[in-house]
Amino acid sequence: MGAAVERYIVIVLFEGVDLLDITGPPEVFALVQRELDETSGYQVVLAAESLAPVTTSAGVRVLPDVTFAEAAGRRIDTLLVPGSVEVDEQRRVRALADPAVVDWVRRLAARSRRVTSVCVGAHLLAAAGLLDGKRATTHWSTAQQLAADHPEVEVDADPIFIREGDVWTGAGISACLDLSLALVADDFGEAVALRVARQLVMYLKRPSGQSQFSVPLAVASTTRRVEELRLHIDRHLSSPLTVAELAEQACVSERQLTRIFKTELGTTPSAYVESARVERARNQLESTDATLERIATDCGFGTVDTLVRAFRRRLDTTPTAYRTRFRTLP
């Protein structure tokens, strides 16, 4: 058995911090611990100026685990920097960057293998000089502010997250989960990240019962155009979904669409659609009594033979054998 792996993650905590920024990523990292053995995964701590309770933007008080000074006393694998905003009477949003917190971010970053920001935390990284000469993203509502305040940073408001070497920046709010899963994939591989995503599916179900996260999280994409196309595919799996149709949906040529899928997702449009259909079929096999004919139609395979071939190709099994093993109904 290999040596135990535990990565020390420090999440920066301060008054007015966005609550989801500091609670979302630990949920993802905690699931890694569940998927791996007991001595592998992450050790996550919340660090603040003192050990006094910190009030978040949601009014929820959070207790720090360590002080900034204590966190700086050891090597940090990943420094995760959240953000905070203020909203004026005209409902204009402005990101905040407390100079004292910025100074600690700079000092903690020097002790870290990897530095990340979620949402408007990018403003703190920029103020600390950690984004100079780098491409970075943040919440769309403060992207113009980030560009104006820090012209040395190449701001791109479109991606869900951006990696520049050992510096990662994430977009707004729930994108912290996408960024966290990408970090997991970088540390432990895509297979572990996908298993973690599947765990999240257990309580992130749409009312229809179709999972929000499954195939779309198998590979992390970074642009809204691709995410919108994935959503279109997920909503129209019973349709033909030809390359020509998808290219028209994305307002690009078929050749460009294929290039985008290769670059963003490492696969072809047709292969991605088949993966999405297999995922939908798996969900129905696990949780419904639908016949194979009905599943083949609903998922866009057309015939049972096509469904069986896709399962053999993707999962090295048959739909019937899969249902026998993974069926969740009594």
DSSP string over 286-330: HH----HHHHHHHTT--SHHHHHHHHHHHHSS-HHHHHHHH----
Q: For every residue of 175-203, which 3-state class applies, written as one string?
A: HHHHHHHHHHHHHHCHHHHHHHHHHHHCC
**8 Å CB contact between 146 and 188:** no
The CATH code of domain 6-187 reads 3.40.50.880
Catalytic residue selected from 119, 176, 251, 299: 119
Instruction: Average the pLDDT over 198-213 and give the result.
Output: 39
pLDDT tens digits, residue range 57-113? 999 999 999 999 999 999 999 999 999 999 888 888 999 999 999 999 999 999 999
Q: What are phi and psi of 174, to 5 degrees?
A: -70, -10
Q: In the numeric block, which tokens belong to residue 22?
A: 């500091």
- Is residue 328 over pLDDT 60? no
**8 Å CB contact between 322 and 280:** no
Q: Is pLDDT larger for residue 223 or for residue 50?
A: 50
Domain 223-326 has CATH 1.10.1740.10: no
- Is residue 141 over pLDDT 60? yes
Query: Residue 305, Cβ neighbours under 10 Å: how many?
Result: 10
Query: Residue 210, Cβ neighbours under 10 Å: how many?
Result: 16
Per-residue pLDDT, 35: 83
Which is nearest to 143 in space by CA: 113, 114, 122? Answer: 122
- Is residue 38 over pLDDT 80? no
When the pLDDT of each residue in the chain is averaged and rounded to a whole number, the result is 86
Where along the chain do its domains lie? 6-187, 223-326
SS3 assignment, position 270: helix
Instruction: Average the pLDDT over 289-305 and give the result.
Output: 96
119 is catalytic: yes
Rounded distance between C-alpha atoms, residue 275 and residue 254, angstroms:
19
**Strand partners of residue 45:** 10
SS3 assignment, position 136: strand
Instruction: Average the pLDDT over 223-246 and give the result.
Output: 89
Q: In the numeric block, which tokens belong to residue 294?
A: 């009905």
- Is residue 209 over pLDDT 60? no
